[in-house]
Amino acid sequence: MEVLAQTVAMGFLMGGLYALLAIAIVLIFKATKVFNLGTGGLLMAGAYIFYFFFAQLMRPFIGHPDPLAPVMVTLALWVLLEGLIVTVWGGGIKSYPSGLPTGVLSMGKAVVPEILFIGFVITVVLVISLAAFFQYHPLGLAMKVTAESHQIAQSLGIDVKVVFAISWAIATGLSMLTGTILAVHMGLSEVLPNIALKALSVVLVGGLNSLIGAFLGGFIVGIIEALFTSYLTPYIGRGVGELAPYLILLVILLVRPHGLFGIKEVERI
Amino acid sequence: MQPCGTFNTSYRQDMVLVRTPLQWGMLIGFFVFLVLLPVITPIKLGKLQLGLIFFIFTGINIITLHGLNIVMGFAGQLSLGQSAFMAVGAFAVSNLVVKLNVPFIVALPLGGLIAAFVGMVFGTPSLRIKGLYLLMATVAAHFIIAFTIIRLPAIGGTLGLIVSPPSIFGFELNTDTRYYYIVMMVTIIMTILAINLTRGSVGRAFMAIRDDEVAARVMGINTFVYKALAFGISAFFAGIAGALLAFYLGMATVDHFTLIHAIWLMGMLAVGGMASTRGVIFGSIFFNIIDTVTTIVGPIIQSALPFFGHEHVAGIAMALWALVIIIFLIFEPRGINHRWETIKASYRLHPFSYTRE
């Protein structure tokens, strides 16, 4: 009887994953009448990308005494990926014939690209679900503890490796989604990573440890950048909009280093 | 650690840099090697003397890396602004020489001082913030400096500034060999400066701030002044290196001083080993070896695989260097310098190498 229970339970859970994959196949078939036998390849690519980022790069740095080392690894990761991409596809801007919507929507007096509007809707949904996850789910709470200290988290019985893995998986997925949307809007090129540098400014405006801060900070920085681009370009010159996030970053760091919504860290001796 | 049988009997003896006759011999031998290098360098690629170019770029990298080592390795303040400070030095010296006709030998340190001033200004956020926050502030500094240079035609403008080969006391530095000598001389002077700076009271103050800022303040170190000083000194080194680079390439343009370059400098420091002058030299040489190898191998790959364009090859160098940084950070976070000291110690203690730890 035990064997049966075990078998059925395992089968049930594996079946859930099969169902997820089946949905992926059905989605494409129902929408486009193409039977996607390549689902397995996509599945493998996802698994390997995650394996590379997390298992091979970040895992040696769990509980590392030098906080600088993992940061430098992430910087090197950026250069590595950029290098690989340039090796395969070469430099320069390419148009992005993805088939994703490229039209415009008119909203009152303003006209906006359709893809940015879709991106906005996705953002709102994701932010609400992530905020709820951090606030209520035990794993979300475990993540907060891990950020505080790897050692404390481990002694509380939290599996730091799991926390690392899941947060990296979510973040990788979010970045890939954003990259796809941005490439439709701006074209495909190796300068896309610079957008992520602007996100640094957003993160600091909102506060490094606040999801809602990151959400609102994004709008603050986005609007100020657009205002700079529209109103200051005639006086200062092209590119002043690009500069806006960095100016905001410097100002916020000097005036309120922990951001608008972040929690001030207490320094202990 | 000192070699066996060395007993210092005076402070002078204790502080001296070159201790034994063997060390003197090796030092002089190395100087002779540097002087003779243009004659003996064998590697040529077409008309280019790769050996000389290698040493010129290594020298320039060593100078700027000394600066980064002082601010990051010794003072413990993260900085990604080094590349932008190099740009400041490059444009300052180019403007002084081209527009104001200042002699190169005067303009070089003057440009360094201008870069140092800019560095101090952008180092002031370190008063309030530290660690990752400071890193982001220096990223902002990078973009603000680059934007300012591009948007002010009086300084540089979009196209940059074309410079002719500099001359020192009427001696034109128009060949690689001549330029090599000036770069080597400046590199040696700056290296001695860096060594002595970190041995003195300033260096000790930097290290105190790095190890614990609150404790340093309790000890009576004015942390604000010393942090600003660290940024200033680092930018001084960067400025001189940037100027040498601009004059070697015959052009000062923002395109040479990218954020990726700043990341590479950080990587060189990590690979060589933080907070040691030797690590700086190891890191620069290691980076330039990879760079030169890809320069040589690139055209070979291109001729073998014709569909593989020029810009694709540039990607290989980037990916390779990033991979090296990651491997070092995972397997030898203390850099080549630590490995070198381990080897040296086990040689000195030879039959009893296990006593090292």
CB pair distance less than 8 Å for A249 and B140: yes
Q: pLDDT tens for residues B96-117?
A: 988 888 888 889 999 999 999 9
Is the residue at B290 inside a domain?
A: yes
Phi, then psi, of B103 in degrees rounded to 5: -60, 145
Phi, then psi, of B52 in degrees rounded to 5: -65, -45
pLDDT value at A268 more than 70 = no
Q: Which residue of B has its CA nearest to A56?
A: B330
Is the residue at B19 inside a domain?
A: no
Please give the residue that has the higher pLDDT: either B40 or B179: B179
CB pair distance less than 8 Å for A75 and B309: no
Phi, then psi, of B249 in degrees rounded to 5: -80, -10
**Which residue has tokens 């290594």?**
B58
The overall average pLDDT reported for chain A is 78
Q: pLDDT tens for residues A79-88?
A: 888 888 887 7
Q: Which residue of A has its CA nearest to B262?
A: A75
pLDDT at B3: 62
Residue pairs spanning A and B at CB distance below 8 A: 136
Share of chain A above pLDDT 70, in %: 91
CB proximity B330 to A under 8 Å: yes
Q: What is the CA radius of gyration of chain A?
A: 22
What is the count of structural domains for chain B?
A: 1
pLDDT value at B357 more than 70 = no
pTM for this prediction? 0.84
pLDDT value at B47 more than 60 = no
CB pair distance less than 8 Å for A92 and B323: no
pLDDT at B231: 93
CA–CA min distance B310, chain A (Å)? 8
Nearest C-alpha neighbor of B148 from the set B118, B123, B185: B118
pLDDT value at A205 more than 60 = yes
pLDDT at B230: 93
pLDDT value at A7 more than 60 = yes
Q: pLDDT tens for residues A60-110?
A: 777 677 777 788 888 888 888 888 888 777 777 777 666 667 677 777 777
User: B266 near B68, Cβ under 8 Å?
Assistant: yes
Share of chain B above pLDDT 90, in %: 31
Task: Give the ipTM.
Answer: 0.76
pLDDT value at A244 more than 60 = yes
Highest mean pLDDT among B40-44, B83-87, B168-172 belongs to B83-87
CB pair distance less than 8 Å for A69 and B315: no
Residue A183: both structure tokens together:
């490439």
Is the residue at B167 inside a domain?
A: yes
pLDDT at A263: 72
- Helix, strand, coil shares of chain A, percent, nearest 5, are 75, 5, 20
- Which of B127-136, B187-196, B218-227 is the least confident region? B127-136
pLDDT value at B157 more than 80 = no
Which residues of chain B neighbour A73 with C-beta distances below 8 Å? Answer: 325-326, 329-330
Q: In whole angstroms, what is the distance from residue B166 CA to residue B288 CA?
A: 24
- CA angle, A96 then A100 then A101, to 5°: 115
pLDDT at B355: 62
Is the residue at B338 inside a domain?
A: yes
CATH number for the domain spanning B338: value is: 1.10.3470
Please give the residue that has the higher pLDDT: either A149 or B77: B77
- The residue among B152, B290, B326, B331 with the most chain A CBs within 10 A of its CB, best to mutate, is B326
pLDDT at A113: 79
Highest mean pLDDT among A73-77, A189-193, B18-22, B235-239 belongs to B235-239
Is the residue at B288 inside a domain?
A: yes
Residue B8: helix, strand or coil by DSSP? coil
pLDDT value at B34 more than 80 = yes
Give residues 43 to 82 of B whose Cβ lies within 8 Å of A: 78
Is the residue at B233 inside a domain?
A: yes
Q: If you average pLDDT over residues B140-167, what whole number do you get?
A: 83
Helix or strand run (H / E) with residue B314: helix B310-331
Q: pLDDT tens for residues B249-306?
A: 888 888 888 888 898 899 899 899 888 888 999 999 999 988 888 877 777 777 777 6
The overall average pLDDT reported for chain B is 85
Share of chain B above pLDDT 70, in %: 93
Q: pLDDT tens for residues B63-87?
A: 999 999 999 989 988 888 999 999 9
Q: pLDDT tens for residues B309-324?
A: 666 777 788 888 888 8
The partner residue sitting opposite B267, judged by closest CB among A76, A88, A89, is A76
Residue A132: both structure tokens together:
């709820």
Q: Count the Cβ atoms, other than its own, within 10 Å of residue B353.
A: 13
Q: If you average pLDDT over residues A189-194, what whole number do you get?
A: 74
Q: Which domain holds residue B195?
A: 52-348
Q: Give B58's pLDDT tier (boundaries 50, 70, 90).
A: very high
Nearest C-alpha neighbor of B336 from the set B286, B291, B288: B286
CA–CA min distance B126, chain A (Å)? 9
- The residue among B72, B82, B134, B143 with the most chain A CBs within 10 A of its CB, best to mutate, is B143
Q: pLDDT tens for residues B197-217?
A: 988 899 999 999 988 888 999
Q: If you average pLDDT over residues A156-171, what whole number do you get?
A: 80
Is the residue at B32 inside a domain?
A: no
**Distances from the Cα of A26 to the Cα of A30, A41, B193, angstroms:** 6, 16, 69
Is the residue at B80 inside a domain?
A: yes
